[in-house]
Amino acid sequence: MSQNSSFVFSSTALRSLQLDEDMLERHRHQRSAASSQLTGYMLKKEARSRQLLASGTSAPPAVCKDLVTQNALYTGDLEALRELFPKDSRANFIIEPRGGDMRWVASGEGLWSLSYEQELTTPLHITACRGFADCLRLLLQRGADVELAPGGGSTALHEACESCQPECAKLLLSHGANANAVSEDGLMPLHVCTLPESLECARQLLQYGAAIMGRSVDEEDTPLHVAARHGLPEHVDLYLRYGAAVDRRNEEELTPLGAACAHPHEAHELTRYHRVCQLLLAAGARVGPLDRDKRTPLHMACKQANADVVELLLANGAGVNDMDYGGEAPMHNILKVACYKTAHQPERVVQSLLNYGSIRVWPGALPVVLKHCCGSPRTVEVLLNAYSRLKVTDAWVEAVPLEVLKDHRDFYESLFSLARTPRSLQHLARCRVRVYLEGRLLRVVPKLPLPTLIQNYLLLNFTGFVH
């Protein structure tokens, strides 16, 4: 047939071709979207060896929907499992639990239905996360695959470590579980050891070759970052003894010290985080590394109002007046949160910063600061006692809500009385001594032959009123 030959198409044929072209275009679009999703998935999966295949076989494990078997697994009924899996039987299968969250699922081209979202699991996952060690041992003896991960890509070892089940973790490791398996979330088992009770799991993982410098895929956290962020001093000590790099940065440019200082923590956790920071600094952590916003660990510790950590960082050379990208010093951070973290004793943070030479608030901005910090009168007291003169005006009175004034009437009456009364001679003498000893306060004052009460007064200890 010559190149100039042509076909004559009917209108019906042309319409059919157009429909075919539209269908091909939709197909190409679907394949492109699927390819993008697959690429993201593959980046998070370091090993594809944990497919839905039984060890040494070519067929995928069966899906078990038998409620008797599921009940025995979820309740840890060892005798029932022995009957269900006698010797020479195999316990390598997948569980599809009933229930779950509802979600829209594509059931055909252009068709969607509301269905239950099922998260697949395995007998090993169920028994490992619940601490049923005897049941877990039986299943392993019956050939259950330790690397099977049909749900969110987490292995049974991930489950055991996350649930703080060291005996189960050791069983899995002794039967060949990969201590460096990566879940679909990009986490190794060491990354899910986030509770104090998971210490023994972490120890077992390291003994079986877990990578102490293994990084999570998205955040690029090392196990030391995770332990520091969750305030786990014993984990931090363990990881440092195994050679963890103390100043390695994650995706946010945070070192483990920065991660510990930046993570929000409750008042009852302050001591744990202080101990973590002590260990990191003793191991050589630097107090100066900055994140993307040029914040130092001191900025972050002030935002969390951890007075002991602030004092520790300052004692180790942290810059009290370092500015972040937004032009804010550590003092700004503590004044922003003082009212919300009164249980953390924010006044101690302000006291430490001032004693180490922090810049003070511009006097004209004090009414604004008072408005934000009035719920923590001790913070206000320490801050204002760093000034030899105060110009108290009606704006100061208006900055304190009536309910706060009622709760702390004695203090605020003493403050507002300064509108008519100058500061006391005692306070003026304190200010003069502090100016003279600027930069040397904490070295000199404890050595002065003065009563402890006067030394504390010089260092801005709070008394509950201003004079």
Residue 333's identity, in one-letter code, is N
pLDDT at 16 over 90: no
Show the CA angle centred on residue 183, arms to residues 125 and 185, nearest 5°: 120
Whole-angstrom Cα distance, residue 247 to residue 256? Answer: 7
Pull the structure tokens for residue 34: 């699927």
Whole-angstrom Cα distance, residue 56 to residue 442? Answer: 69
- pLDDT band at 63; cut points 50, 70, 90: confident
Cβ proximity of 335 and 297 under 8 Å: no
Provide the β-strand partners of residue 95: 64, 121
pLDDT tens per residue across span 291-301 = 788 899 999 99
pLDDT tens per residue across span 110-132 = 666 555 555 678 999 999 999 99
Collapsed DSSP state (helix, strand, coil) of residue 315? helix
pLDDT at position 108: 56
pLDDT at 143 over 60: yes
Pull the structure tokens for residue 44: 């998070």
Collapsed DSSP state (helix, strand, coil) of residue 287? coil
Pull the structure tokens for residue 232: 């786990």
Residue 108's identity, in one-letter code, is G
Dihedral, CA atoms, 48, 146, 236, 301, nearest 10 degrees? 60
pLDDT at position 48: 41
Whole-angstrom Cα distance, residue 322 to residue 338? Answer: 20
pLDDT tens per residue across span 204-219 = 999 999 999 999 998 9
Question: How many Å separate Cα 108 from the centre of its chain?
Answer: 40
pLDDT at 30 over 60: no
Mean pLDDT of 213-226: 95
Cβ proximity of 188 and 211 under 8 Å: yes
Question: How many Å separate Cα 122 from the centre of its chain?
Answer: 28
In terms of pLDDT, which residue wins out, 177 or 28?
177
Whole-angstrom Cα distance, residue 38 to residue 440? Answer: 61
Question: Any idea which of 47-61, 197-211, 233-247 has the lowest mean pLDDT?
Answer: 47-61
Question: Any idea which of 12-21, 270-279, 338-347 has the lowest mean pLDDT?
Answer: 12-21
Whole-angstrom Cα distance, residue 265 to residue 233? Answer: 14
- pLDDT band at 138; cut points 50, 70, 90: very high
Q: What are the C-alpha distances in Å from 2 to residues 5, 6, 7, 266? A: 5, 9, 12, 83
pLDDT at position 51: 42
- Give the side-chain half-sphere CA count within 13 A for 79: 0
pLDDT at 459 over 80: yes
User: What sign does the CA torsion over 205, 208, 212, 213 have?
Assistant: negative
Show the CA angle centred on residue 418, arms to residues 414 and 420, nearest 5°: 120
- pLDDT band at 20; cut points 50, 70, 90: low
Whole-angstrom Cα distance, residue 151 to residue 147? Answer: 12
pLDDT at 26 over 70: no
pTM comes to 0.81
Class of domain 46-105+114-189+200-209: mainly alpha
Mean pLDDT of 8-32: 51
Q: What are the C-alpha distances in Å from 363 to residues 374, 376, 396, 418? A: 16, 19, 12, 15
Q: Hey, which bits of 58-167 come out as E strands?
A: 62-64, 93-95, 102-108, 111-116
Cβ proximity of 346 and 305 under 8 Å: yes
Cβ proximity of 224 and 247 under 8 Å: no
pLDDT at 99 over 50: yes
Provide the β-strand partners of residue 63: 94
Whole-angstrom Cα distance, residue 441 to residue 455? Answer: 10
pLDDT at 371 over 60: yes
How many other β-carbons are positioned within 10 Å of the β-carbon of residue 331?
21
Q: Average model confidence (pLDDT) for the chain?
A: 85
Cβ proximity of 130 and 170 under 8 Å: no
pLDDT tens per residue across span 391-410 = 999 999 999 999 999 999 99
How much of the chain exceeds pLDDT 90, in percent? 66
Residue 457's identity, in one-letter code, is Y
pLDDT tens per residue across span 242-266 = 999 999 999 999 999 999 999 999 9
Burial of 319 (0-12, 13-18, 19+ CB in 10 A): middle
pLDDT at position 350: 97
pLDDT at 105 over 60: no
Domain edges within the chain: 46-105+114-189+200-209, 364-467
Mean pLDDT of 124-153: 90
User: What sign does the CA torsion over 249, 251, 253, 258 have?
Assistant: negative
Kindly report the backbone phi and psi dihedral angles of residue 112, in degrees, each rounded to the nearest multiple of 5, phi listed first: -130, 150
pLDDT at 172 over 90: yes
Tokens 């006291």 — which residue?
351
How much of the chain exceeds pLDDT 70, in percent? 82
